[in-house]
Structure 1
Amino acid sequence: MLKKADVNIPRLISSYYTEHPDTNERSHRVSFGTSGHRGSSVKGSFNEDHIMAISQAISEYRYAQGIRGPLFIGMDTHALSEPALRTSVEVFAANGVLVRIQSGFGYTPTPVISHAILSWNRGSGAPVADGVVITPSHNPPEDGGFKYNPPSGGPANTDITSLIEKRANEILADGLKDVKRIDFKNALSSDNVRSIDYIIPYVKALEQIIDIEAIRSSGLKMAADPMGGSGVHFWEPIADIWGLDIDVINKNVDPTFSFMPLDHDGKVRMDCSSPYAMANLVALKERYDIAFGNDPDYDRHGIVTKEGLMPPNAYLAAAIEYLFTHRPGWSDNCMAGKTLVSSSMIDKAVDSISRKIYEVPVGFKWFVDGLMSGMLGFGGEESAGATFLKKNGTVWTTDKDGFVMDLLAAEMTAVTGKNPAEHYRRLTEKFGHSYYSRKDAPASHEEKSKLKKLSPENVAVNTLAGEEIIA
């Protein structure tokens, strides 16, 4: 029987401050993947030195790019997130960056930061804003993460992250000599740092993207499981302000995430697409018309109907078909964005309503420009992350938004009388069943480096399971 490993929070925190990376060791260097730099303090890959170097590199990048507006910072509930927040604020403030954090050092989800950036930059005439989200997403409790969102509001592209990564590693290798820093107390009292409320502005704006009235008037009974994540304090305002019947079934914030069921491999992982991690919510499926869970930074969603947890690809297909037939304010020419590894059922559903597919490599950054311009009505990944346009066809967020994907499931049920699983069943009756399987495997830093450099010339085979490999 699988047994939970102990998570030593005091050791994680002390190691963050006392352990220092060996820059000759590849695994200790700053490495920006599709979702920023991630690591663990006890492994020498996510320590205060890393955050000082990255924050200094971002400060220099902002200055070089003429970004003079506020830097909106959010953090999730992982143990290393608040220490990293404090370190970054010290460095940003010393560099003259205008920092905005949630009052009371509260938690702020990824989509809320994206929404704040875009709201600020939308025609205000003020200097443009950008943001940082401190999160390792659904990774285990011992991990930390730090990602940068430029003024476009979404994940930074490779050109930006490579510049920040290169400069941060130069700063590390030079012993942090170029880091500007003031102590946290002085940073908070400076003119550069201000506490704001991210919650209410975001919650009040939800009617711009979701048919809230349809949900309210339907009387749907809903459940939200924050899974110990950064959206924990958003659901009650959503329910109160909009008059929705939402039970928040688990309000625990515990950096060990000890309340979580073990994932398939015995690890504690807040993966809302996993039937193992979502077992607590699935057990309550008969009590609610629709239920949803999210990962710690709320850029992913898990939808539970009376039939159980929906596979991410199934919900994406059903959601896309619904949206493109229930958003008269969208352009007739806007497309549905999907990643290369997402289900072909999406293609069939989109084709059946005379829309076009926009297919991209893995990584939400590929959807940012299309969402900004309105070329894309929807952008989604098979890993249970997506966002879509407002009802009037303008951009909502350019990063994945678990809140709106949750509430969309409720809207679909309220408007049509059928939950998303029933919508997907209708698609299978029309187009046949679609089969999908995903297998995750660990990769060393050396293996990841080789994979990054992989080119078509390195792949000798042309077919897989009898089908041509086209990308």
Structure 2
Amino acid sequence: MDDITFGTGGWRARGDRFSDERVRIVGQGIATYLRDTAVETGGAVAVGYDARATSEDAAESLADVLSANGFDVSVTDRDRPTPVLAYAVARGDYCGGVMVTASHNPPEYNGIKFIPGDAVSAMPSVTDAIEARLGAPTALPETDHGTVERFDPVALHAEHSRQLVGDFLDVDLSDLTVVYDAIYGSGRGVTDTLLEEAGATVIRRRCERDPTFGGQAPEPSPETLAGLPEAVAEHDADLGIANDGDADRITVCSPDRGVLSGHLLFAVLFEALLTDADATGPAIRTVSTTFLIDRIAEAHGVDVHEVPVGFKWIADGMATHDGLFGGEESGGYTIRGHIGTKDGVLIALLAAAVAAVEPFDDRLDRLFEEHRRIYADKRSVACDEAAKPRLVEALEADVPDRIAGDPVAETVTVDGFKFLLDDGSWVLLRPSGTEPKIRVYAETTDPDRLEPLLDAGSDLVAARLGGTGED
């Protein structure tokens, strides 16, 4: 039990550490938490799983533990996207949900994510309460056990997605061609079908199940999606769309610019809602996401609220500030009227609708002309979990006054240490919540300054930790 901790995206473990024994311990913690805080003995829990080799067996073990604790359990009919399960939890007669997934992590990882009954991403108070209840599985008398059944949550989510996107942009997708890349993950047969049923012509890429995701992490990065720009060109497509392993994240590929960063996708979608949909309201962005969002918001007279990294904070900000659009540079987004979880399936349909109104490349040309082009990237520096507090303490005790030779105008500590420079550039250092790494982020409007800023951030981490080592 000491080896099980919940980070930004739930509990994740690598290899043999993701054992059936630990899975059942987590299941018991969730069952006890639900009995203590949400429902009396009984009720229903939805369980889903991604395409990893160990996921279905883990989902069945969770169902065993939950049903033995008196809960009726609905297990998805096959591996399904996390947001599809979350929507079923929010709209069905469920007191909570459990998703077996390691999201975008490499195939040797797996994990468990708890979904509260309202499907808003679980806050630390909830995951801490589950951790406190971890224990060996217990069972009620067999006559008090719950039932276990299989169910398909896709249709309910698809209907909602079509209605919500249509409320903002009711456009015809029949002239749109999209290349969809599932990276062998759980978006296959879901995101592509949603786009096709909305009228788009869909070219499918890597839409078969492969528990190894082709031998790479199912993260929709430029490296993982190396063949997507070529596929878009080959099919003369208007857009490429990719999801990560459990389809809660999305990346878009435009014909001229290739794979877009999460910063630019956020900017395009937010501006399109404000302009084409004539919607209004603030943006909720993480501390690691571009200031381009702030400049777009200022031009439209709306606010931006900066929150820590982790979608639970975006969900909280959306609810608190009635956000129009919320997201993070890693490709997780949501929209007003949706549940409080990131959704790469829903946002794929929104991105297609935006592209049908005006091509992404034309939108970006205009945004760069009006608000300046941004250059942003991130790195990871290896760091043992035990050393992360030492880095934080070292930075608190000795805040740098210059980064890459430029004065630090302000230090923001919403999450980690974000150093704002006089020219509007910034560098962020923050411990990862899911891996033994320190994340180093940087943004600038000068392309020649990006690498020096990242170098300076990496060097600062190494100096404060007393060593070196970019991962």
Task: Give TM-score, length-normalised by structure 1.
Answer: 0.79
Q: How does 1:192-341 map to 2 (within 5 A)?
A: 192-211=147-166, 215-235=171-191, 237-239=193-195, 241-258=197-214, 268-272=216-220, 274-286=221-233, 287=235, 288-307=237-256, 308-328=258-278, 332=280, 334-341=281-288
**In structure 1, how many angstroms separate the alpha carbons of the residues matched to 2:55 and 2:398?**
39
- The answer to whether residue 19 in structure 2 is matched with residue 72 in structure 1 is no
**In structure 1, how many angstroms separate the alpha carbons of the residues matched to 2:196 and 2:289?**
36
**In structure 2, how many angstroms separate the alpha carbons of the residues matched to 1:378 and 1:145?**
28
Q: Which runs of 4+ in 1 moved over 6 A?
A: none
Of 412, 416, 422 in structure 2, the residue corresponding to residue 470 of structure 1 is: 412
Counterpart of 2:105 in 1: which secondary structure? Answer: coil
Matched letter for residue 375 of structure 2: Y
What is the CA-CA distance between 1:282 and the residue it aligns to? 2.0
Matched letter for residue 224 of structure 1: Y
Ranges in structure 1 where 5+ consecutive residues have no aligned partner? 1-22, 121-125, 261-267
What is the CA-CA distance between 1:214 and the residue it aligns to? 5.0
Q: Is the alpha carbon distance of 1:454 and 1:300 closer, same or farther for their aligned partners in structure 2, counting shifts above 3 Å?
A: farther
Ranges in structure 2 where 5+ consecutive residues have no aligned partner? 414-471
**In structure 1, how many angstroms separate the alpha carbons of the residues matched to 2:76 and 2:196?**
20
**In structure 2, how many angstroms separate the alpha carbons of the residues matched to 1:77 and 1:250?**
13
Q: How does 1:341-360 map to 2 (within 5 A)?
A: 341-360=288-307
Counterpart of 1:368 in 2: which secondary structure? Answer: helix
**In structure 1, how many angstroms separate the alpha carbons of the residues matched to 2:203 and 2:129?**
44
Q: Deviations over 1:123-161 (max 9, x none)?
A: xxx6x5221111111111111110111123132111111
Task: Give TM-score, length-normalised by structure 2.
Answer: 0.79
Q: How does 1:98-177 map to 2 (within 5 A)?
A: 98-103=72-77, 106-120=78-92, 129-168=95-134, 171=135, 176=136
Matched residue, 1:82 = 56
Size of the aligned set, in residue pairs, is 403
Matched residue, 1:430 = 370
**In structure 2, how many angstroms separate the alpha carbons of the residues matched to 1:86 and 1:242?**
34
Q: Is the alpha carbon distance of 1:152 and 1:445 closer, same or farther for their aligned partners in structure 2, counting shifts above 3 Å?
A: same
Matched letter for residue 299 of structure 2: S
Matched residue, 2:326 = 379
What is the CA-CA distance between 1:378 and the residue it aligns to? 1.2
**In structure 2, how many angstroms separate the alpha carbons of the residues matched to 1:454 and 1:300?**
33
Matched letter for residue 263 of structure 2: N
Counterpart of 1:343 in 2: which secondary structure? Answer: coil
Matched residue, 1:264 = none
Matched letter for residue 110 of structure 2: G
Work out whether residues 203 and 237 of structure 1, in 8 Å CA contact, stay in contact via their aligned partners in 2: no
**In structure 2, how many angstroms separate the alpha carbons of the residues matched to 1:370 and 1:447?**
30
Counterpart of 2:57 in 1: which secondary structure? Answer: helix
Work out whether residues 40 and 47 of structure 1, in 8 Å CA contact, stay in contact via their aligned partners in 2: no
Q: Deviations over 1:41-73 (max 9, x none)?
A: 33xx21112111111011111111133642222
**In structure 2, how many angstroms separate the alpha carbons of the residues matched to 1:78 and 1:346?**
35
Matched residue, 2:308 = 361
Matched residue, 1:13 = none
Q: CA RMSD in A?
A: 2.5
What is the CA-CA distance between 1:236 and the residue it aligns to? 5.1
Larger relative contact order (Cα-Cα within 8 Å, sequence gap ≥ 6): 1
Work out whether residues 34 and 95 of structure 2, in 8 Å CA contact, stay in contact via their aligned partners in 1: no
